[in-house]
Structure 1
Amino acid sequence: MRVSVSGCGRRGVLHAACLAAAGHEVVLHDPDPRALDALRSGLTAAEPRLYRLLALGLVSGRLRPTTDRTAVAGARVHVLCVGAGPSPDPDGASRVGRLRDALDDLAPHLGPGDLVVGRARVPAGTAEWLAACLVADGVRATVVWVPDEHRPGHAVVDLLRPARLVHGVPAGPDGVRAAAILDALHAVQLASGADRTVTDLTTAEALGHGVGTTRDTDRGPDRHGDDVASRTRRGELAAAGAA
């Protein structure tokens, strides 16, 4: 599946690398060329295993960083990884503003039935407001919300082998179609045994706290003191990147 990821910060790079490792064709867009320079030099690969996934994605061609916003055209799913950091205001207005700016950049390149996937924790009603913005612009894309749940230092494993997935979708036929596309997007995670819950947008928004739920087998260090990411089988992520 062709996927675009907006935002070349820590979360954007992490999600783009993991999506590419899961076999998707990923366009990572950021208007700031300095962010892409940092990615290529490995400065953003602070998570265990992330540098390896970045290298696999770039070498295989599945991960394509760019400052060209038109490169996102043709993607079926568009993941918003902006506005996920700390918000300077208590009501999250600046975070929502960054999401709206990213959506405005995407809107001219969205086609009917495309999904716009929000990841950040946002005030209740943000997803529906963003969806209304698209309707007002005459864009027939669907806004969905997938809570960003991963633990610092374990993010690669938590994203590729999560304990659960929560898919927040709108009601009606658009929601049914969106849920099916999200299942395809997360086929690798579902095949690994992740529990999947489909819920409404408001519930999913409230769950986007960025702290992962762990599998029973992934709790704490092993007897050698390695973390979860280090204990991942050596060939597992490489196989995902080469699939």
Structure 2
Amino acid sequence: MRVSVSGCGRRGVLHAACLAAAGHEVVLHDTDARALDALRTGLTTAEPRLHRLLALGLVSGRLRPTTDRTAVAGARVHLLCVGAGAGLDGASRVAALRDALDDLAPHLGPGELVVGRARVPAGTAERLAAGLAADGVRATVAWVPDEHRPGHAVVDLLRPARLVHGVPDGPAGERASAILDALHAVQLATGAPRFVTDLATAEDLGHGHGTPRPGDAVLAGADDGDARGVVSSTPGVPLAAVGAA
């Protein structure tokens, strides 16, 4: 699947590298050429295993960093990995997401999926979707909480404890969920449970809640079709390393 990732910060690089490792064709877009230069020279992060994934993605051609915003055209899924810096408040995150989406909008096609990753105030996804609709853009907005742990991010993204897909109601949500299943086929193949929930629930989860692992609390009533009963907590049991290929 062709995927675009907006934002060459830590979160964007992680997701781009892991998606490329999972076999997707990834365009990593950022307006800052210096950030992309750092990515190519391997100076981006000390996150374990990430340098190897980046090298594999770049050499294979599955990962393409670029400042050319038109390169995102034709991607079926567009990840918004911006607005996640330390110290940013909710309003700053939303503003960064809105700016990134404004850049994407002219290149979005009907049926394409825009996926937010940051923890944001409830209602953000619906407002972003309304903005696209007002501009005549027929793309769908979904939300997938980011629950990786620093120092374990590659493991957590390729072998997650769970996947939460926040999608809109109706046929658009059903299509979005099917696309997200295809995007996360490698992760689902590891046995990770998948929860489909509404947008507001997904927006409130994510980084800062920790990643649930076996033994973490799950409220009664949660099942594969409802993540509203899921409670995440900081994991206490170390994960065995997974091979990054």
TM-score, normalised with respect to structure 2: 0.89
Matches within 5 A, 1:41-60: 41-60=41-60
Which structure 1 residue ranges, 5 or more long, are not aligned?
222-227, 239-243
8 Å CA contact 1:87, 1:94 repeated in 2: no
Task: Quote how far apart the aligned CAs of 1:46 are.
Answer: 1.6
Q: What is the aligned partner in structure 2 of residue 237 from structure 1?
A: 244
Q: What is the aligned partner in structure 1 of residue 213 from structure 2?
A: 214
1:125-168 deviation line (CA, Å, top 9, x unaligned): 00000000000110000000000001110000000000100000
Which protein, 1 or 2, shows the higher relative CO under an 8 Å CA cutoff with sep ≥ 6?
A: 1
Q: Given the alignment of the two structures, is residue 142 of structure 1 paired with residue 149 of structure 2, yes or no?
A: no
In structure 2, C-alpha distance between the alignment counterparts of 1:220 and 1:128, rounded to whole Å: 36
Task: Quote how far apart the aligned CAs of 1:214 are.
Answer: 2.8
In structure 2, C-alpha distance between the alignment counterparts of 1:169 and 1:21, rounded to whole Å: 25
SS at match of 2:46: coil
In structure 1, C-alpha distance between the alignment counterparts of 2:116 and 2:203, rounded to whole Å: 8
In structure 2, C-alpha distance between the alignment counterparts of 1:144 and 1:186, rounded to whole Å: 14
One-letter amino acid matched to 1:160: L
SS at match of 2:244: helix
Percent identity, aligned pairs only?
Answer: 82
Which structure 2 residue ranges, 5 or more long, are not aligned?
216-234
In structure 2, C-alpha distance between the alignment counterparts of 1:126 and 1:68, rounded to whole Å: 27
One-letter amino acid matched to 2:244: L
More helix by share: 1
Task: Quote how far apart the aligned CAs of 1:209 are.
Answer: 2.6
TM-score, normalised with respect to structure 1: 0.89
Task: Quote how far apart the aligned CAs of 1:232 are.
Answer: 2.3
8 Å CA contact 1:26, 1:62 repeated in 2: yes
Q: Tell me the number of residue pairs that the alignment of Structure 1 and Structure 2 aligns.
A: 225
Cα RMSD of the aligned pairs, angstroms, is 1.4
1:43-74 deviation line (CA, Å, top 9, x unaligned): 21321000000000000000000000000000
Q: 1:191 aligns with which of 189, 211, 236?
A: 189
